[in-house]
Structure 1
């Protein structure tokens, strides 16, 4: 359970840092347009911090970490989230600097979203499995 709380805390720190990064980089560059950096803060807090606080409660109530599928959820979901937000940082920063990004950036970000979805599927499979065991 400590692993889940630590994961949540790391995403909390990243989310807070992302908010500061967005504010400072746009202010320093006098940027007033739209950028993906504006939603990076909420993505990290909701899909990272709050998600793993919810998973912590599922672990407390159903022991979901005992399932072999849990490891698949944990690593695939985290990889997908880090890939997604990493590309958001890259794309958003390039937007602030007035640079274009290619289609590959969108494609890799799409891969991150696919991994997030796959991770969620494994989470649901894990919870269903543990519900059967708990009866």
Structure 2
């Protein structure tokens, strides 16, 4: 549980810092206010996918002991976090290029796509682990109530 809490805290700090970077970098480079750049998306991805989702997973861990399936939980944790980091890094890179008036490349889109694939894989593994944990909790509840399945 401490790993989830620490990761959520780090995402909160990096998410807030990315918002500050977005605001100051666009001002510094006289980027027109209101014009789209992916820098703002990095801020929301880090706060939502990193901070908020991991706090929700922390609550699920407390309720269902998802990490009891150690291998599944480790796969979820590393796949998901790699996806968040890779996706957010590509948003910052692409957004910075936009602010600087540079062309983005297909490579950036491809790497961002890989980040989204890792996020998806991590979410699937999370649901497999959650399903097992909920099943264990249900069996334990029925057993403690004296109900035979």
Q: Deviations over 1:105-124 (max 9, x none)?
A: 10110010011001000000
TM-score if structure 1 supplies the norm length? 0.98
Q: Distance in 2 between matches of 1:3 and 1:110?
A: 26
Alignment partner, residue 127 of structure 1: 130
CA apart distance, 1:39: 1.7
List runs of 5+ in structure 1 lacking aligned partners: none
User: Alpha carbon RMSD of aligned pairs, Å?
Assistant: 0.7
Structure 1 or 2, whichever has the larger Rg, is 2
- Partner-residue secondary structure (3-state), 1:30: coil
Alignment partner, residue 44 of structure 1: 46
Whether 2:34 is the aligned partner of 1:31: answer: no
Q: Distance in 1 between matches of 2:44 and 2:132?
A: 31
List runs of 5+ in structure 2 lacking aligned partners: 139-149
Alignment partner, residue 7 of structure 1: 7
Alignment partner, residue 55 of structure 1: 57
Q: How many residue pairs get matched?
A: 135
CA apart distance, 1:41: 1.2
